[in-house]
Amino acid sequence: MSAIVLPLRIPDTVTPLGDWLPEVKDDLTLVTSGDAEPGYRRQLPHVLATSSYSTGPEVEDLLDDLCGAGGVRTLVHVTEDDILRCARVRDRHGLPGLRYEQALPWRDKLIMKGIVSGHGVPTPRYLRPASFADAERFARRVGYPVVVKPRLGYASMGVGLVGDADELRRAAEVWDPDDVMLESFTQGDVLHIDGFMHDGEVLYVQASRYLNNCLSFHDALPLGSVQLDRDGEEHARLARFAERVVAALPPVDFSPFHLEVFRKPGAGDLEFCEIACRLGGAHIMEALTYATGVNPARLWIRHQIGLQNGPETPLADTGRRYGWLLVPPRRGRLVRVSEPPPVEFIKDFIVKTAVPRDFDGAHGSTDSYLAFVVDGASEHEVESNLRKCIDIAAECSEWEGADV
């Protein structure tokens, strides 16, 4: 029986656990998805796979079976969909680590906003609607458009804007009344703040600005992100905001965090969107690795297993800024992706799908068929390079279909 259990759906090309955990790989059982299984079987001796990793009870049942058999001392979590189920399993089997009561405010956006706003942090107005009439009254009070989102969702899946009462009624016909909330819509930029925390204190922070936003996939627009210059006042202001939010929520052991913030037009007032006690998605991990010289996922996993003391690991700054771009699929058939031209600012060019392939568009903010990670001497240079990548993506891709 393995002493370490690690559920993870991310492919081995992103998280090469065999290379990251050589000291314990013989004492580790990995629970993964059917798609990721072949890569991990080449690295690890104990791999279990499921065809329904992110939905249904199968993963949690496997974790219960493994932990209930005895001998497990560590249950590691990494992605958003594993946080609560790992916490429940730890509770049931008396394992150390993040427990459900601690974890829930970092996952449930209704509870999260209640705690954060209760500590004086500005947030959008929000409501858990008890009925359609309740939702309609809220929308009239705050004004359309209104944001509809799952309380426990991630990657913007299931998030939408409704522009009038008819759209709200149609949304209400399909939403889960136990997993829905409404928010007033905030105009302005969306920023994300990523870093590490420990026991309610922020240890490291990197603020970034989105290009487009997490709902841009609805319009088939790329989602990108630019790390802000660390010596600027805006970066310092966002770091202070992150400290307020982290201090408001239940303290957790050494962990990454991913915080999203609205910056309103005009005076640039900041407003809380949401936060998670895990790494940000898309290619935030790669951008942070380039910026600090330390892979944050590797650091966090090794800390949970007891191989590395995370709070004592220095995260330096390399002096350059980084960014990433996700290119969403269109509706149609992707028939070819060619290599980009040899330009120095492209650090990673990632084809994220088999080709050829048919697509029916994007369904979440991180849905993409192509991605870039770029660098630059400043945030402005990074943004310019990312915008060049939008044109490069079009030149490298050949589509067939009605919307091309």
Residue with tokens 């819509």: 185
Q: What is the pLDDT, as a whole number, of residue 285?
A: 97
Lowest-pLDDT choice from 194-198, 215-219, 316-320, 340-344: 215-219
Question: Is the predicted pLDDT of residue 297 greater than 70, yes or no?
Answer: yes
Task: Give residue 216's pLDDT band: very low, low, confident or very high (50, 70, 90).
Answer: low
Output the CA–CA distances (angstroms, integers) from residue 237 to 123, 231, 269, 320, in the order listed.
17, 11, 10, 20
CA atoms within 13 A on the CB side of 146: 28
CB 298 within 8 A of CB 20: yes
For residues 353-368, one letter each, b for 16 or more C-beta atoms within 10 angstroms of the residue's C-beta and e for the rest, the string is eeeeeebeebebbbbb
- Specify the pLDDT at position 131: 95
Confidence of residue 55 (pLDDT cuts 50, 70, 90): confident
**Where residue 141 falls among pLDDT bands split at 50, 70, 90?**
very high
Amino acid at 130: A
Buried b (16+ CB within 10 A) or exposed e, 214-241: bbbbbeebbbbbbbbbbeeeebeebbeb
Point out which residues pair with 223 in neighbouring strands.
326
pLDDT tens-digit readout, 104-131: 999 999 999 999 999 999 999 999 999 9
Q: How crowded is residue 59: how many other Cβ atoms within 10 Å of its Cβ? A: 24
Strand partners, 346: 374
What is the predicted pLDDT for the residue at 363? 80
Q: What is the distance between the alpha carbons of residues 337 and 44, in angstroms, rounded to a whole number?
A: 32
pLDDT tens per residue, range 325-383: 999 999 999 999 999 999 999 999 999 999 999 999 888 767 899 999 999 999 999 99
Mean pLDDT, to the nearest integer, of 144-152? Answer: 96
HSE-CB for 22 with a 13 A CA cutoff: 1
Token pair for 98: 């993040």
What pLDDT does 296 receive?
A: 97
Tell whether the model's pLDDT for residue 1 goes beyond 70: no
- Which burial class, exposed, middle or buried, applies to 143 when counting CB atoms under 10 A from its CB (0-12, 13-18, 19+)? exposed
Residue 361 confidence (pLDDT):
87
pLDDT band at residue 155 under the 50/70/90 scheme? confident
What is the H or E stretch that residue 395 is in?
Answer: helix 379-396
pLDDT at residue 217 in the model: 60
CA distance 324 to 308: 28
Sorting pLDDT into bands at 50, 70 and 90, what band is 213?
low
Per-residue confidence at 39, pLDDT binned at 50, 70, 90? very high
For 79-110, what is each residue's pLDDT tens digit? 999 999 999 999 999 999 999 999 999 999 99
